[in-house]
Amino acid sequence: MKKRIILVCLLITICLIVGKKTSFTDLWISKLAAASSGTAGKIVTWKSSSTSGVWVDKQQLTTTDWDNDTSSYVTVDSSTTNQIVDGWGGCFNERGWDAMSVLSDSERANVLRSLFDSYTGLKLNVCRTPIGASDYAMDLYSLDETPGDYDMKNFSIKRDTQMLIPYIKAAMAIRPDLKLWGVPWSPPSWMKSNNNLVGGNINTDYKTMNALALYFEKYVKAYREMGINIFMVMPQNEPAVSSNYTSCLWNGAQLCDFIKNYLGPKFKNDNINNEIWLGTFHISDYSYISPTVDDSQALSFIKGAGFQWFGDESAAKLHSEHPELKIMQSETMCGYHQNDWAYAESQYKLIKTYMDAGVNYYTLWNMVLDQTGLSTGGWAQCSPITVDKNSKAITYNPQYYAFKHFSYFVDKGAYKVNSKGNYENKIAFKNPNGDIVIVMQNESDSPQSPAINIDGQKIKPTLLAHSFNTFVLKH
């Protein structure tokens, strides 16, 4: 800009010296003056994925002045910022590493780069790992199945060194700044009413609660000894669910008691320096949350909360009432192994729903599964990447690209910014470097041409039928 202003001044000076303005000089003075004032068209890059082709670079667009084209429109106001985006993630599970075990070292590295690489992949930077077995462990286990071991003398992460930790370490080799957090699907079976890792209620006596707090502490310490920093834990995955896989029922009062009187004080007294969050909640029942956030002592121990599936209304309520707390969408809806374009379109809507609710993090569920997609409970689910263990074929499903249209472009530290208009499927962000990112979906059967107003500058692309689109206006 400074160079342009200098050129304008130089040309004007030359004209004054010669005592007249030539038509040539008039032309260039007008062009350079317009450029220096910032009113010239701005370049917008455009990436598109549709059923006819994924991750396609479309022709760059040049903005024009907004002309009140409002038949189908979007208005982005980058000056009005909402919550900060702290990251995008997924979950490490044994069955994902098992699926990749059939691949060569180079093939497996390529899959991992497609997830974690900061230049070509999904740029995942914060991931979940189960404390003990999730429903995508190879079989059921906890980190201490010795009944009555209240002192955790038999606590061990030996099982995790077989599959989970190699999976995490392989990801960290690509993304050294990867943040990890942990949550149990079930505590050890002897801490529950049914003495089983499947279903049942948490026992709330002093000895059990104290032992469970120690269980979390030993987990964090053991992983740190392996070079893996667990920055945060949540007490229980989906405490409202008693399923046919690892699970455990808690209520809100029990979660508050555990955090307030056991886990929080344990971490504080032993200088664990690890965050505690509420979660994860798969339904919008605020009775699971209010006991903790309404208790000042319990609230002082937590830094955020995790929500998944149908928890968006509770997420929005907590964000509104306690903006000081971080909010995570902790597991995207996992589907039924359809892995098709319609499922990917539903994922776009879920990301938009949770971003509109105020979340700071958005997390995939399984990142990689085999061709069956089966869990220990027999539920075949979706994943962005599928590895066929028989043919060794690697498939990047439509969900991968739907997610990448967000995670690749929306950087850590971005802010969600206001976007409105009668074209519904849109969401906008402002990156730390000032770039404006707009992610739009056309789920209809025909092309759509919404007018997009970006801070008074207009573009009017034609979105292909059933497409995901990301537009970036450079700062």
Are residue 33 and residue 112 in the same domain, yes or no? no
Are residue 152 and residue 195 in the same domain, yes or no? yes
Model pLDDT, residue 297: 98
Task: State how far the Cα of 223 lies from the Cα of 237, in Å rounded to an integer.
Answer: 19
Are residue 161 and residue 226 in the same domain, yes or no? yes
The answer to whether 404 touches 122, Cβ cutoff 8 Å, is: yes
Task: State how far the Cα of 333 lies from the Cα of 367, in Å rounded to an integer.
Answer: 13
Are residue 400 and residue 442 in the same domain, yes or no? no
The answer to whether 274 touches 220, Cβ cutoff 8 Å, is: yes
The domain containing residue 25 runs over which residues? Answer: 2-37
Give the pairing of strands 467-473 and 436-442: antiparallel
Are residue 173 and residue 312 in the same domain, yes or no? yes
* CATH at residue 448: 2.60.40.1180
Tens digits of residue pLDDT in 283-335? 999 999 999 999 999 999 999 999 999 999 999 999 999 999 999 999 999 99
Give burial (CB, 10 Å; 0-12/13-18/19+) of 165. buried
Are residue 180 and residue 228 in the same domain, yes or no? yes
Out of 390, 412, 434, a domain closes at 412
Are residue 117 and residue 189 in the same domain, yes or no? yes
Model pLDDT, residue 475: 87
Task: State how far the Cα of 457 lies from the Cα of 184, in Å rounded to an integer.
Answer: 49
Are residue 328 and residue 446 in the same domain, yes or no? no
Model pLDDT, residue 12: 40
Are residue 279 and residue 368 in the same domain, yes or no? yes
Task: State how far the Cα of 274 lies from the Cα of 264, in Å rounded to an integer.
Answer: 10
Are residue 128 and residue 64 in the same domain, yes or no? no
Model pLDDT, residue 25: 34
Residues in contact with 367: Cβ distance below 8 Å, sequence separation at least 6, in sequence order: 90, 91, 92, 96, 115, 124, 383, 384, 385
Model pLDDT, residue 351: 98
DSSP string, 163-205: THHHHHHHHHHH-TT-EEEEE-SS--GGGBTTSSSBS-BB--S
Are residue 311 and residue 283 in the same domain, yes or no? yes
What's the total number of domains in the chain? 3
The answer to whether 443 touches 54, Cβ cutoff 8 Å, is: no
DSSP string, 249-309: B--HHHHHHHIIIIIHHHHHHTT---EEEEEEESS--GGGTHHHHTSHHHHTTEEEEEEET
DSSP designation for 438: E
Specify which residues 439 forms β-bridges with.
427, 470
Query: Could you state, in chain order, the average pLDDT of each consecutive group of 10 residues for the chain (475 residues)?
Result: 42 39 35 38 97 97 96 97 97 98 98 97 98 98 98 98 98 98 98 98 98 98 98 98 96 98 98 97 98 98 98 98 98 97 98 98 98 97 98 98 98 98 98 98 98 97 98 95
Are residue 56 and residue 113 in the same domain, yes or no? no
Model pLDDT, residue 402: 98
The answer to whether 363 touches 347, Cβ cutoff 8 Å, is: no
* CATH at residue 201: 3.20.20.80
Model pLDDT, residue 213: 98
Out of 361, 379, 412, a domain closes at 412
Tens digits of residue pLDDT in 85-105? 999 999 999 999 999 999 999
